[in-house]
């Protein structure tokens, strides 16, 4: 789905349409097949991610909810960091990251279901139990509570680890949440609140995506890092402090989902100003930048 969207964004329409045609065929299979999870053996967890996203692509939310239930039953709930959110098949196996990504996606559609976030986000951490401080990674059990190596393989090998690394890095995001037990908390970030606003300061390495759960607003930036985001509690005014990833960057791509439909004014600390229509609640803009650090403001002009 990400490749298809990227082809369209880059203007590669022939490639986009060709891949979309094949994608539709695959999607049809995952909707009509009663048990679409099996791989080379009857019980496997490798098919959950594809089934989830194919069915969501077709807006078959009844079938999506079925996958969410299956995922919730197949990820560990023990509150130990290398097990919590880990795939029951194997410690730190690559499907841990793939399936955690599905739960996090489902959470953004259902932000009142805090269990999806707790288990899904824990899985993004459990996956790293298979990486040594040296950077060596292993696709199978490679760690034990007493600190001794426990790999099936000697020496440890990465094998399928990279398959899980992409969804893991893609899923990492800063979440501001009104937790029913602990109040305002952050996942992957520091958070703060005033009488009129919410704020997020992302942790290092989790600085490209953020989600304000009380407002159901998601923000993503490309080619720059988020230093801080603040929004008023109506979601009508958003301030984003960014810094360039590399100095040669000339534009920043900004994507915001969950806004109230209307016209928004996008302005920067460097004098850029543009009025854009956002009738679908999704705002996308490419914004020129010159300085290393910049502030972008998004303000609802008219509903």
User: CB count, 10 Å around CB of 33?
Assistant: 12
Question: What confidence tens digit (pLDDT) does each residue in 48-91 have?
Answer: 998 899 999 889 998 999 999 999 999 999 888 888 999 888 77
pLDDT band per the 50, 70, 90 thresholds, residue 33: confident
pLDDT at 99 over 50: yes
Query: So what's the pLDDT on residue 194?
Result: 96
pLDDT band per the 50, 70, 90 thresholds, residue 10: confident
pLDDT at 152 over 60: no
Average pLDDT across the chain, whole number: 89
The owner of tokens 């100095």 is 247
146 DSSP 8-state letter: T
Q: How far apart are CA 242 and CA 252, in angstroms?
A: 9
Strand-strand pairing, 237-244 and 273-278: unpaired
pLDDT at 144 over 60: no
End-to-end alpha carbon distance in the chain: 31
pLDDT band per the 50, 70, 90 thresholds, residue 145: very low
Query: 183: alpha, beta or left, given left = phi > 0 and alpha = psi -120 to 50?
Result: left
pTM, full prediction: 0.90
Q: How far apart are CA 229 and CA 242, in angstroms?
A: 9
Domain ranges of the chain: 33-172
Question: What confidence tens digit (pLDDT) does each residue in 178-208 have?
Answer: 999 999 999 999 999 999 999 999 998 899 9
pLDDT band per the 50, 70, 90 thresholds, residue 233: very high
pLDDT at 45 over 90: no
What tokens does 48 get?
């959950």
CA 43 to chain CA centroid, Å, is: 27
């Amino acid at each position: 789905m990400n490749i298809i969207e990227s082809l369209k964004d880059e203007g590669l329409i022939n490639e986009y349409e060709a891949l979309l045609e094949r994608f539709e065929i695959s999607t049809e299979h995952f909707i009509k097949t009663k048990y679409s999870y099996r791989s080379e053996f009857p019980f496997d967890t490798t098919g959950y991610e594809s089934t989830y996203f194919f069915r969501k692509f077709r807006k078959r939310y009844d079938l999506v909810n079925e996958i969410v239930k299956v995922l919730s039953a197949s990820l560990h709930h023990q509150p130990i960091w290398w097990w919590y959110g880990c795939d029951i098949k194997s410690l730190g196996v690559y499907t841990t990251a793939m399936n955690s990504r599905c739960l996090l996606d489902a959470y953004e559609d259902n932000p009142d279901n805090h269990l999806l976030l707790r288990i899904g986000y824990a899985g993004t951490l459990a996956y790293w139990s298979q990486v040594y401080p040296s950077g060596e990674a292993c696709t199978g059990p490679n760690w034990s509570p007493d600190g001794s190596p426990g790999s099936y393989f000697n020496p440890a090998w990465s094998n399928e680890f990279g398959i899980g690394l992409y969804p893991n890095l893609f899923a990492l995001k800063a979440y501001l949440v009104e937790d029913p037990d602990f109040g305002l908390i952050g996942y992957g970030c520091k958070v703060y609140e005033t009488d009129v606003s919410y704020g997020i300061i992302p942790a290092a390495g989790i600085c490209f995506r953020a989600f304000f759960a009380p407002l159901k607003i998601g923000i993503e930036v490309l080619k720059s890092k988020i230093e801080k985001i603040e929004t008023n509690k109506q979601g009508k005014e958003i301030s984003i402090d960014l810094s360039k990833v590399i100095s040669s960057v000339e534009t920043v791509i900004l994507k915001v989902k969950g806004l109230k439909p209307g016209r928004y004014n996008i302005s920067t600390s460097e004098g850029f100003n543009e009025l854009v229509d956002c009738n679908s609640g999704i705002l996308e803009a490419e914004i020129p930048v010159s300085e290393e650090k910049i502030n972008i403001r998004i303000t609802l002009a008219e509903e």
